[in-house]
Structure 1
Amino acid sequence: MQSNWLTYALITTGLWGLWGAFTGLPSEHGFPDTLIYVVWALTMIPPALIVLARAGWRIDRDRRSVLLGLTVGLLGAGGQMLLFRAVQLGPAYLIFPIVSLSPAITIALSFGLLGERTGKLGVAGIALALCALPLFDMQLGQGAQGLGMWFVLALVVMAAWGLQAYFIKLANAGTSAESIFFYMMLGGLACVPAALWLTDFSQPINWRWQGPGLAAVIQVLNAIGALTLVYAFRYGKALVVSPLVNAGAPLLTAVLSMAVSGAMPTGTKLLGVGLALLAALMLALQPENPSSTQAVSGDAA
């Protein structure tokens, strides 16, 4: 099953890396981040319907599946809502490095509660990935910042997204991937009213194609990546998939941004790129022990 999880993980990495490189374009054209969230929630609908159709419109409706599926969706969407507020209150160059450490929570829970293990190469890759993640957004020399509500919110978002990845893996043990993504879609849509409430409609909003249209094209990459992530967790170990995707996607984003702008990263970002590249290679090359593979039964995409 190693090729299955790695294929899905690499697809997610590629889609999220491409999404990360261009996700800021709609806001640069005057389309608010909160409305970009609304567009993202809507782009979750088509891939959810497509995979459900391929699965014969079978949706797991038992209590465990519904509870875990909605938990996954609300943790992801709720974390995004809190991130909007955190960035309004505090410095983004400190908030994003904190949030990027969410795989540490996934790794700890997967190791302690799911009994997942990996080899020496995988352990080294995980360690390097955790070191690389904060470096992509860390900016030194910005001056001292007092700890306030933004710090608390950043920690909550980190915990929410770390727990989300763990619950995706946990849900896959008894729920189809298609059902998990369906409930993730519902969780995302449930937070749309909050996103609309946070939107300042008194400010000029670009309703032309460069706003919602461009956002939809970019955010569908995020939505499809979320779907393939569910399959990656289904066939792979969470303590490997999470750091691989979370380190590989920013690495690709950095490379694409360099190609578009023609600028070379300096300082901490350059170090983060190097560590992420090494970490991704180690995690991808770590041999999988067939006897300990955490694959679960169910339909695949």
Structure 2
Amino acid sequence: METPLSDEIDDVARARRFRAALDHMHGPLFAVLDGGYFDDLEDELADADISGRSLFLKGGDENMRRDGPWLVPLNNRRAREQIEELVLGKPCAVFWLCPEGEQALWRHLRTINEIRIPDERFLADDESSDLAIKYERVLFRHWDPSVLSTFIPLLTTEQLVRVFGPATAVLINSPSGPKRALRPKDLPKTPRGMLVLGADQLSALHADRRTAYCDRMSSILKTMAPEQTAGMTQEVLNERILRYEASGNQLGLTQERSLSIWGFLMLSSGDRFESQPEIQQFIQSGPGTPDENVEILLHQMSRLVDSMEEVG
């Protein structure tokens, strides 16, 4: 299928805007890449002769470290151009400007790998309750552009200072175009301790992320399954998207790409896939991870359809 000319123009314009925004970040520039988008980012960076440091220390879960955040200094034109190409192809990086250099930014970003949020199991239904809020530590995926772009607008001044640390700017290449946040001048010193979100911020974050997720997934599924989505209202499609996300998560799917494939398979099967034990077993216990297995399943289904068309 040929790509419509308008889509090609949009992609060119989006790339031009992103590169222009990156050009305006003067000083030591760094990318934090999401390892989950690569087979083995550490090896790929080494093969390209680009230095990179994991924001997770060795000694823990190696799969989590491999698929986690990697700090890459963009200290030469070649490294920057190669990372730009990766980012324009998939939403896999956040860019930071840090005059204090790589070590200062690496130390800081490690301190925001986890944040404290209200434990929703213990939140009182009555917002005026005097009961103390219980908090839990969770992973903060600040290297995920979709997470950070919805997160930053919700922060108080003190929280914003905690996120920026020694950095002076952050650039996110979102689907709607590049978004840049600048560290306001004359802010107080970076507070010590973990970043803490309030209950109202957590609720707003959930709502914003749900809306953004539905928008992204809706665009993908309308392209992948035009016939199945043609008669649906946006409200109905959003309900399906959230239901497919929940059932996909239960099967072990963690990446948006694999969740979009699962959504396509569900739409194409009239929602029958989730009730077929052999499908569930293959995704959960197949040759690879659940995310890899659902891609294998898609390829197998595509080959089956192609062979049926040839016979017909």
TM range (shorter): under 0.3
Give the structure-1-normalised TM-score. Answer: 0.25
Q: Which has the higher strand share?
A: 2
Q: Which has the higher helix share?
A: 1
| Higher relative contact order (CA closer than 8 Å, sequence separation 6+) | 1
Bigger Rg, structure 1 or 2: 2
